Chain A
């Protein structure tokens, strides 16, 4: 079963990280899911693949009633992001899925009806969660061509999807980055290969540098916090991406 860790709380406003599953088969990539709650409503960010649904569901159930999930946010269209969609919809068929307009006719192959999907325009949009404004931040081509991060101005948290992701060895399973230099070695290959555009990367670095961020939460690996957030942005800015070895 996955572990839940509350990474921010102020009254009903809460961010919960759903991470690390010791029982997960090795052939499935490890993913982080995040639950944002406010005023009794909940939104699950990158709900994960169908095969890990039982682990995510049971972890989430310990924090929040899954049938009260108002929405899920899908950073992009990959199966490890949202192939569990149909299963979440079994608990609340009225749940909405926010996703780039680019994928709103692709993701329905994972489940849902025309009413399920709310298209995010390329420039992004605000999502209202019981009075809390969450801003979708464009991160196109990092790695998906229709890709978004989600920024919570109040909690100062940026959910960065695949940006900042690290494929960590089993013995490095901490929730937060503790040793940036050691950690980033596990992120380098991923970013060089998965991120397709240096120009897109540059724009993203400029865009997020203007945001006040206490925590940068990727979909794989550990969370960057404090000074490691800016350290990561600078490291990423200097990195040449879109490269295949050999």
Chain B
């Protein structure tokens, strides 16, 4: 499933940020007082990576929930059609009453699916906000790198990589947002 692949990609990239941030913290320690700010930002990027992974995990759970509910709704549609035909052919039987019960259950399932879809949209927006923060952190790290004196070049390289990866995550989330699953088309 393409959505799952996209989520896995975000999770694996955010894990990469975690490792990179750890390396950046060591680099900042070596640079000493000249890279104190960079060290703090690198640590924040580690936190960002963990937050993003948690967010993607809940997104995955919600997607699984939605897929399950969609299967139920599809089955409802088929059963309702068949019970409807039975009620038409045997109007004096219990079929019309059972059909009405089925339709009431269908409404419940449809509402549950709508609620899950809303939760899913909110979780995706949360992920975007986390990525916005990640983008700000990466850009601030770029600025801090410039103050790294003799370590300025390696720090600039690391902060550039941070920025690149955050952009990669943003584009994955954009593609998730555009997917039929999220747009509902």
Q: Which residues of A contact B (CB under 8 A)?
A: 1, 50-51, 53-55, 57-58, 61-62, 65-67, 86-87, 90-91
Contact = CB atoms under 8 A, between A and B. Distances in A.
Contacts of A53: 82, 86
A57 B78 contact: no
Nearest to B101: A90
Interface in B92-136: 92-95, 98, 101-102
A87 B83 contact: yes
Contacts of B180: none
Contacts of B82: 50-51, 53-54, 87
B102 A90 contact: yes
13 contacts: A50-B78, A54-B83, A54-B86, A54-B88, A54-B89, A55-B89, A57-B86, A58-B89, A61-B95, A87-B79, A90-B83, A90-B98, A90-B101
B98 A91 contact: yes
B67 interface: no
B90 interface: yes
Contacts of A57: 86, 89-90, 93, 95
Given A67-B94, A87-B83, A91-B98, A1 B89 contact: yes
Nearest to A50: B82
Contacts of A65: 93-94
A61 B95 CA distance: 10
Bin chain B's interface residue count.
10 to 19
B85 interface: yes
A57 B91 CA distance: 11
Contacts of A1: 89
B79 to A, nearest CB: 6
Contact of B85 (A54, A61, A67): A54
Given A67-B94, A90-B101, 8 more contacts: A50-B82, A51-B82, A54-B86, A58-B90, A61-B92, A61-B93, A62-B90, A66-B93
B80 to A, nearest CB: 11
Contacts of A50: 78, 82
Given A51-B82, A87-B83, A90-B83, A66 B89 contact: no
Which A-B residue pairs are the 8 nearest by beta carbons?
A58-B89, A54-B85, A58-B90, A61-B93, A54-B86, A61-B90, A57-B86, A53-B82
A91 B94 contact: yes
Contacts of A62: 90
Contacts of B92: 61
Contacts of B95: 57-58, 61
A91 B94 CA distance: 8
A58 B86 contact: yes
Contacts of B98: 90-91
B83 to A, nearest CB: 7
B155 to A, nearest CB: 58
Contacts of B102: 90
A65 B93 CA distance: 8
A46 to B, nearest CB: 18
A153 B71 CA distance: 44
Contacts of A67: 94
A201 B102 CA distance: 44
A66 B87 CA distance: 13
Nearest to B75: A86
B20 to A, nearest CB: 47
Contacts of B93: 57-58, 61, 65-66
B76 to A, nearest CB: 11
Nearest to B87: A54
Contacts of A87: 79, 82-83, 86
A66 B89 CA distance: 14
B105 to A, nearest CB: 10
